[in-house]
A = this chain, B = another copy of it.
Amino acid sequence: MSEAVFPVTEFEDRADRAQRLMREQGLDALLFTTEAEVRYFTGFRTLFWQSPARPWFCILPRTGKPIAIIPQIGAHLMASTWVDDIRTFAAPHPTDEGVGLLSDALNPYAVVGMPMGRESSLRMPLIDFERIKVTLPGTEFRDASALVQALRHIKSETEIAIHREICQIASRSFESAPNLFREGQSLKSAFRRFKIDLLERGADDVPYLVGGAGPGGYGDVISPPTDAPLKSGDVLMLDTGAVKNGYFCDFDRNYAIGHASDAIRQAHRKLVEAANAAAAIARPGKTCADLFNAMTDVLGQSDGGVGRMGHGLGIQLTETPSLTAFDTTVLQERMVLTLEPGLDLGKGKMMVHEENIVIRDGAPEFLSTPAEPDIPVL
């Protein structure tokens, strides 16, 4: 299925905004090899990117629609998008997986922008990319990470509506915690029940679910669940990136199993207070660093080892910008962000808390139903 949830004007608008920036920056074309960017400009959505076997390419020229240069297996699905110019190659192929077609397609352009900077990767064999550069000695390849990231910072109301829907699904699942989690249950089983609850409430998928549990906090925020049983006195945290129509939510909730110590109650209050302090000043014109500082002011410490306290959200679980002391990206209306304060509790333990918001002209809109200051006891 193509992105039928979006009208064609959504893609026209994305291309138009990109092309305006391309003209300003002297770029003749943009080249993309990665899922999020190809989807953003074409509407081509498939889980098939999980197979590393075949490269996929998309070119956005300075005028007109994107050009798709893709393996034959994707032709039928790509034809359902707004893209007209679909060039296919046989893949796997013994000697040429799209390199010839891609070189020909890039040939007219003197300056080609592509994501090469922060948060980017090259989803094609490095050897093939080098071959293309050799084939096109007159072509300059230039970093266009910031251009594409800036575009994707600002969501359309259609994108925001999808975010809202998946955030509300996850909020309902988190509210069902008393029915899902209990002392003695293994962490793995708790995660499985939560995932099923998300699907039953309408999530299309739950690509990301991590967390932890332990007395006095957990060790990190990126681990898959173990078979260890939940014990009275544990703090349980689940952090989910669930998906609807290809867009993520990304927030977590903490629960105390049986009872909560004063230290944990206090830490939870502080985390909620920190997120609310950032939300309270989140307006167009403020910066990511401002939000970061608002949170550290409440917490009295930095980021609990996570490296930042929130980030952009969209097609990907995490997108730019980052809420750090050094990210001076200026907030604009319709940015979707996570607020994710973290506390180092000492002795290798930590706690994090996360909400999802949209920057508005005025107070931000909470997409996740905001957590109460008191940690829920299950």
Contacts from A to B (Cβ < 8 Å): 1, 4, 33, 36, 45-48, 50-54, 71-77, 90-94, 97, 114, 116-127, 143, 145, 188, 192, 195-196, 199-200, 204-210, 219-226, 241, 305-308, 311, 316-320, 322, 324, 326-327, 348
24 A-B pairs with CB atoms under 8 Å apart are A1-B223, A1-B224, A50-B317, A51-B316, A52-B120, A52-B316, A52-B319, A73-B305, A74-B220, A77-B220, A90-B307, A92-B118, A94-B326, A97-B118, A114-B126, A116-B127, A117-B127, A121-B125, A125-B145, A127-B143, A188-B204, A192-B199, A196-B199, A196-B200
> A47 to B207, alpha carbons, bound, how many Å?
8
State the number of copies, please: 2
Taking CB atoms, residues of chain B closer than 8 Å to A204 are: 188, 192, 224
- Least CB distance from A296 to B in Å reads 15
Contacts of A318 in B (CB 8 A): 50-53
Q: Give the complex CA separation of A338 and B222 in angstroms.
A: 31
**A48, B192: Cα distance in complex, Å:** 18
A53 CA to B309 CA, complexed, in Å: 13
Q: Which of B92, B94, B208, B221 sits near A50, CB closer than 8 Å? A: B208
Give CA–CA (A52, B316) in the complex, Å: 8
Docked complex Cα distance between A117 and B94 (Å): 12
Distance of A130 Cα from B313 Cα, bound (Å): 28
Closest B residue to A35 by beta carbon equals: B52
Complex contact A74–B316 (CB within 8 A)? no
A239 to chain B, nearest CB (A): 10
Query: Given A50-B317, A207-B47, do A222 and B77 touch, yes or no (CB 8 Å)?
Result: yes
In contact, A76 and B316 (Cβ under 8 angstroms): no
- Measured in the bound complex, the distance between the Cα atoms of B226 and A276 in whole Å is 38
A320–B92 CA distance with the chains assembled, in angstroms: 10
- Whether the Cβ atoms of B317 and A51 lie closer than 8 Å is yes
